[in-house]
Amino acid sequence: MHHIAEQAEYDADRIFTLTELGYCELRFTNQQVLHQPPQVLATIQKYLLPTTRQRVVRLPPSFLASRLEANRGPAPWGAREVPPNVMPDTLTAAAELLPAARRALKRYYGYDNFRPMQADIIQSVLAGQDTVVLMPTGGGKSVCFQVPAVVSEGLCVVVSPLIALMKDQVEALKGNGIAAAFINSSVGQNEANDIARAAVSGHLKLLYVSPEKLLSEGFMQFLTRVNISLFAIDEAHCISSWGHDFRPEYTKLGALRTQFPSTPIVALTATADRLTKRDIITQLNLHEPKVFLSSFDRPNINLIVRPGQDRVGSVVDYITRHPQDPGIIYCLSRKTCETISQKLQQKGIKAAHYHAGLTPNQRSAAQEAFLQDDVQVIVATIAFGMGIDKSNVRWVMHYNLPKNIEGYYQEIGRAGRDGAPSTAILFYSFADVMQMREMVTRDVPARQAQLNTAKLERMQQFAEAASCRRKILLHYFSETLAHDCGNCDICRNPPTTFDGTLLAQKALSAVARARERLSVTLLIDVLRGMRNQAVIAGGYDQIKTYGAGADLPYLDWYSYVHQMLNDGLFYIAYEEGYALKITPRGYEVLKGELPLPLKKFQPAEKAEKPTRASRKAATEAAATGSPEARLFEHLRQLRKQLADEQGVPPYVVFSDATLQEMAQEQPTSRMAMLAVSGVGMKKFETYGEVFIQAIVQHGPPRNVPAGDDELAFGGPTARPKADKPTKAPADPAAVNDSEDATFQLHRQGLSPLQIAEQRGLAESTVKVHLERAYTKGLALRLEEFVTDTQLAEIAAARTQLGGAPALRDLFDHLREKYDYFQLRLAGIRLRK
């Protein structure tokens, strides 16, 4: 938030104006406050924002508008006309900050345009308006508070529920060149003190904290010394006891409004029903918040429901067909997680498990292995995933039925965050419903049990649906889809309808003759003529309809009986061992008074049994497709190498979507690389030249755009046309010649900056050339880059971190004193 600069030559009561949008801020020294008339003091006390050396009052537009007319007329305390030199130049309206926000989006994130609704949300936040954002996972919620934080004065404090979430977000922000940090239980006291000093001095733009840390007495007192621009409450649905992920500590965050009455708050969540949204607004004490409800549609996710039989086989089949695609399998119990993970490993699939029963170190190791692409599959309970920013998760499976649609929606949202086609598979059986029903009603008040049951039934309806699943999903969130989505199993393979009246009459007759004591499973056994203990003990093998449906397999009957349940022919008496009871509608069908159409059961296709050889062949096929596919795989491996060196997840380097665009456009110049979506200035400085050289060395590029090799961030950038090559392609020999030319200039005594200027290259490119020369054994003037004293300090730090730490860990440990070029050279020198 930009403030009115303190004007020594004018009294504070004259530094006052009405901004076009948003809040106006006045700065008073303590001495000035003492000399204001009573009505002014009342206003100051109402809208006071505490800072270190002065008082700042942020006045809302409604307050100003009621007292001023078009920047004229008396202020509340009779202020005279505002001096001309204090007018527009010292105030920046939110609308005027939007161009700066767009420049920040390009510079730090590498994107030319905001996604739908982001610009409106950012404008609301910049205007000082309390804001509520309901946006699907992968929709770009973080940008809605990160960009305002970057373009505003002061610090944005982000409340986040999980350590892993904070760590991932901060790593990504640092990778983009944004000053960010987190304070939680994993941060030592010395590091926390350094972070606090950076926050007070204004060198930090975003600080992530847990709600417990934020609300501690000492930390709240510390925040009064900081110029805070914004509070961002991430995963805000945690505040509601009606929500699917209630966290009691979130309910105390309303204290922020009391302690910081004039600081805007933005609350963000990927999923919230009407009650949860209401709780977010009331419990955070938001003042007339602007609510943004983005579409909950994630059209890139293919929604699939499969029968709950042979789940392990189906899982292995799918992974075998997609050997390069990372994915998450959600299970109901810890034991199931471990069992599935072990079975996948036995099939040669790189998998790990994650649940709350593991030690913190074990959970951290499993999560890091998944984020680093060291394992393809993570098998987890719902304890895993909140805030995980891994953008290239290509599929999510639910091994068991989730307890509500909110949780299901949030969990499938972890797939396809980069917008690429992804898949969500739900395995469903009625046994899951019975098991989950017991879980959600056990040891809870009657009202909560009733609500939990209602939500479970909506989840069951989604799983058993015979119409477009996306329509059902969006309808739950009060959103209407005009047409069928075309990207769910129902739309892709619409069921065939047939007259199922006779089948229904057989089932209804069996239930009636068994005196309504049959569960779903037992009914199917009776219809199919099975002779098991339950059938014989109940005498059900003696009824007339015993074996009347022996011509149909179990799965067919299972599907049809559940369709009958959905059509209201039966209801389940849970208190009587899940016995089926016939409804009045059911008796109408039984008597032939009402026909019943059914959807023909269609079993899922089953792949051939996978072998290690078939998995290897599938992997090789993925890497030997089109030239673009081969280049993408080459860039993916380079990304993994760089990420491992720096100790960050691969998606922090570049997302899959960005690598796909690189493989398609094949940029070989600075301008062309910066035009790739997801390549900002900081990312280019860190990685750009390395990826350009990888593209050049991989083979002749499809396109090398002409023009100046500069890019201004003041406006949109024209994307190079792929079908109009304007330069002869470079070749690997030319790259080697270029490196040699750099080395020769270094021998002549030129610095990297001087070489870059003389050769027309980026300084980062020159450093890459010199590093490669040193790796090859050529002599460099190392003292210019790393002195003996510095080398000793770096060596000591490496020893403290275990001998061969990731570059990012070393970089952070040394408080960013040395750049990556120096650290890499030191590492090479120490290994020689």
Please write down the HEC assignment for all residues of 138-153.
CCCHHHHHHHHHHHCC
Per the listing, tokens 């302690």 go with 259
Secondary structure in 3-state letters for 222-279: HHCCCCEEEEEECCHHHHCCCCCCCCHHHHHHHHHHHHCCCCCEEEEECCCCHHHHHH
Residues 238 and 250 sit within 8 Å (Cβ to Cβ): yes
Strand, helix or coil for residue 6: coil
Enumerate residues 6+ apart whose C-beta is below 8 A from 243.
237, 272, 276, 279, 406
Burial (0-12, 13-18, 19+ Cβ within 10 Å), 794: buried
- CATH topology for 95-293 is Rossmann fold (3.40.50)
**How much is the pLDDT for 28?**
43
The two structure tokens encoding residue 503: 């089948």
User: In whole angstroms, what is the distance from residue 701 CA to residue 714 CA?
Assistant: 28
Residues 171 and 649 sit within 8 Å (Cβ to Cβ): yes
Residues 79 and 36 sit within 8 Å (Cβ to Cβ): no
**How much is the pLDDT for 712?**
33
CATH architecture of the domain 301-492 equals 3-Layer(aba) Sandwich (3.40)
User: In whole angstroms, what is the distance from residue 306 CA to residue 321 CA?
Assistant: 17
The two structure tokens encoding residue 326: 């990372």
Residues 388 and 445 sit within 8 Å (Cβ to Cβ): no
The residues of the chain scoring below 70 in pLDDT are: 1-95, 242-244, 272-273, 383, 385-388, 603-625, 699-737, 760-762, 832
Enumerate residues 6+ apart whose C-beta is below 8 A from 791.
826, 829, 830
Based on its alpha-carbon atoms, the radius of gyration of the chain, rounded to whole angstroms, reads 31
pTM: 0.64
CATH architecture of the domain 497-599 equals Orthogonal Bundle (1.10)
**How much is the pLDDT for 605?**
55
Enumerate residues 6+ apart whose C-beta is below 8 A from 600.
495, 496, 497, 498
**DSSP E strand boundaries for 503-583:** 570-573, 579-582
**How much is the pLDDT for 244?**
58
End-to-end, the C-alpha distance of the chain in Å comes to 52
Q: Which of 785, 738, 787 is nearest to 766 (CA)?
A: 738
**DSSP E strand boundaries for 235-278:** 265-269
Helix, strand, coil shares of the chain, percent, nearest 5, are 50, 10, 40
Looking at residue 59, the DSSP 8-state letter turns out to be: E
Enumerate residues 6+ apart whose C-beta is below 8 A from 425.
304, 305, 306, 314, 318, 395, 396, 397, 398
Q: Which of 96, 75, 89, 78 is nearest to 22 (CA)?
A: 96
Buried b (16+ CB within 10 A) or exposed e, 282-307: ebbebeebbebebebbbebbbbbbbb
Looking at residue 629, the DSSP 8-state letter turns out to be: H
**How much is the pLDDT for 748?**
83
Q: How many other C-beta atoms can be found within 10 angstroms of the C-beta atom of residue 322?
A: 15
**How much is the pLDDT for 563?**
84
Q: How many other C-beta atoms can be found within 10 angstroms of the C-beta atom of residue 785?
A: 23
User: In whole angstroms, what is the distance from residue 336 CA to residue 646 CA?
Assistant: 34
**Residue type, position 203, single letter:** H
Strand, helix or coil for residue 75: coil
**How much is the pLDDT for 95?**
65
**How much is the pLDDT for 196?**
93
CATH architecture of the domain 627-783 equals Orthogonal Bundle (1.10)
789: part of which helix (H) or strand (E)?
helix 788-800
Per the listing, tokens 């059209």 go with 299
Q: How many other C-beta atoms can be found within 10 angstroms of the C-beta atom of residue 486?
A: 11
What does DSSP say about strands 301-307 and 395-398: parallel, antiparallel, or unpaired?
unpaired
Q: How many other C-beta atoms can be found within 10 angstroms of the C-beta atom of residue 527?
A: 27
User: In whole angstroms, what is the distance from residue 37 CA to residue 59 CA?
Assistant: 17
User: In whole angstroms, what is the distance from residue 147 CA to residue 103 CA?
Assistant: 10
User: In whole angstroms, what is the distance from residue 257 CA to residue 287 CA?
Assistant: 9
User: In whole angstroms, what is the distance from residue 238 CA to residue 215 CA?
Assistant: 16
User: In whole angstroms, what is the distance from residue 274 CA to residue 226 CA?
Assistant: 35
What is the CA angle 490-491-495, rounded to 5?
Answer: 50
